[in-house]
Structure 1
Amino acid sequence: MGVDTMMASTSGPVSMGTSIIAVTFDGGVILGADSRTSTGNYVANRVSDKITSLCDNVYTLRSGSAADTQAIASYVQHFIAQHQAEEGDQISVKTAASLVKMMAYNNKDALQAGLIVAGYDKHAGGQVYSISLGGTMTPAPFAMSGSGSTYIYGFCDKHWRDGMTQQQAHDFVCRALRYAMTWDASSGGCIRTVTISASGVKREFLPGSEIPPTYGELGRDRVVA
């Protein structure tokens, strides 16, 4: 599911897919996502951006109905702007995640939205919160969602390490997404990442042409067309 559904005019259910992941490292968080927006078997957008800023220090990864997740993000952006104006300070990551949870839970019968909220604040450093379709919020050192995540649970359990450096965490995110995009037909395109730390926010983009194949970890020069 991922921002992968603009509902098609069909009478039956529409299959959806996406791959999103967020991890903490020693000093911040990294969010990563593929870029394929699908409507059943049709790829509507190959380079969509599933990483949305809620405010300067908190971002969300969106999976589910594109319209639903975009609506939640827009409302929460408004609530956060009001909160920060009243308090005169940056919002905490937990408070921002709680606002997303409230929107998802209060509208669970009408929305199809699974989100991950991650960010950095001066109180608790880097934090990741997973918010499921029903609106349950779970704090975790790392979280993943979408149809592609089912293929990488074993990889993440094996290779996740607490206290990773920023570069180690970035490599971990990109490698996990690469595997998810390989095995999940509804995930694909390019890889986008956002790193949030005390020094600010850094966005990075890895085009599909530069994502190496995973079959036996071969180099591109050894892959038979």
Structure 2
Amino acid sequence: MEANPRSTGRLPAAFLTPGSSSFMDFLSHHSPDMLPGKRSLPPLQGAIEAPHGTTIVAVSFPGGVVLAGDRRATMGNMIAQRDIEKVFPADEYSAVGIAGTAGLAVEMVKLFQLELEHFEKVEGAQLSLEGKANRLSTMIRSNLAMAMQGLAVVPLFAGWDVDRQKGRIFSYDVTGGRSEEVGYASTGSGSIFARGAMKKLYREDLTEEQATTLVIQALYDAADDDSATGGPDVARRIYPIVTVITDEGFRRVSDAESAEIARAILERRLEQPDGPRAALL
């Protein structure tokens, strides 16, 4: 980007030139080196040790969608952080949960938030939920070179579709491939165990409170079988981050609410260690 003569006090010409409503397009034209996907790594002799986020889950209910994540980050066989935050608001009506290389994932989320904010300021309206999901897909695809070197970012995106008046969930692969999920979804190292729990407990008529309980149950089951996923930590008062998106917008469930549900689940698991049982027929 061209330097601005400080004596004039004016913005550089790049900021005044009409163009796309995409902030990423703006960067790619005027300062491509600032885009995460444009960076390259030297040839590697082995795997890069970096903190990784693990399990993210999402469940839809008639009034919206719940997106939640555990709090553990791992680095190899070590616990790198016990209270990492993996679920963030993307804008007023959507949220994103991160799994994969934590540093790159958080940076991608910040750029995604800026992308949506920039679009709204330029166009005077929010991007559709479908459009947001597509923008995130493009950003993940731009990280493919890093993913091929073991630094992948695989988020889960959820939000309230203002046009369709319902909650929707989108999952991704490392190439940016996007899939819309029905009912529930999970990503990260403990996703297979979380998905199994949700598969048995999910119903289409869940209330918001039941959906919130379900995601914490699923994260508990994931932590039970996956060492990289952290369950509710009562001793340290660290509980899963749970967010709800409805027609009223994004809301983060308070720590007190999460703690109350987590304690109730732990109390029940003293009697049933494997959790709730689904009916055979």
Please indicate the TM-score interval, normalised by the length of the shorter structure. Answer: 0.7 to 0.9
Query: 1:89: how far off?
Result: 2.0
Equivalent residue letter for 2:163:
H
**1:56 lines up with 2:92 in the alignment:** yes
SS in structure 1 at match of 2:171: strand
2:168 equivalent among 112, 127, 130: 127
Q: Deviations over 1:51-99 (max 9, x none)?
A: 0121111110000001221121122112111111122223322211111
User: Shift of residue 11 of structure 1?
Assistant: 4.5
Between stretches 111-120 and 202-211, larger displacement belongs to 202-211
Q: Which among 104, 116, 132 is matched to residue 96 of structure 1?
A: 132
1:40 matched residue in structure 2? 76
Give aligned pairs, total.
209
Aligned to 1:29: 65
Higher RCO (C-alpha under 8 Å, 6+ residues apart): 1
- Normalized per residue, the structure richer in strand is 1
Instruction: Extract unaligned runs of 5+ from structure 2.
Output: 1-44, 234-238, 274-281
Q: 1:118 aligns with which of 135, 146, 158?
A: 158
Query: How does the TM-score come out when normalised to structure 1?
Result: 0.84
Distance 1:191 1:78 in 2: 26
| 8 Å contact from structure 1 (residues 17, 148) kept in 2 | no
Gap regions ≥5 residues in structure 1: 1-9, 219-225
Distance 1:183 1:75 in 2: 33
Q: Secondary structure at the match of 1:135?
A: coil
* Closer, same or farther: CA 16–76 of 1 in aligned 2, 3 Å: closer
* Percent of residue pairs identical: 26
Distance 1:197 1:178 in 2: 25
Corresponding residue SS for 2:112: helix
Say which one has the larger Rg.
2
Provide closer, same or farther for how the CA distance between residues 80 and 177 of structure 1 changes in structure 2, counting only shifts above 3 A.
same
Closer, same or farther: CA 191–82 of 1 in aligned 2, 3 Å: same
Counterpart Cα distance in 1 of 2:259 and 2:46? 35
Corresponding residue for residue 168 of structure 1: 210
2:191 is matched with which residue: 138, 141, 149? 149
Match for residue 217 of structure 1 among 241, 247, 272: 272
Q: CA deviation at 1:18?
A: 1.4
Deviates more, 1:12-21 or 1:154-163: 12-21
Q: Distance in 2 between matches of 1:207 and 1:163?
A: 24
Equivalent in 179, 193, 205 of residue 242 of structure 2: 193
Q: Which one of 118, 123, 126 corresponds to residue 82 of structure 1?
A: 118
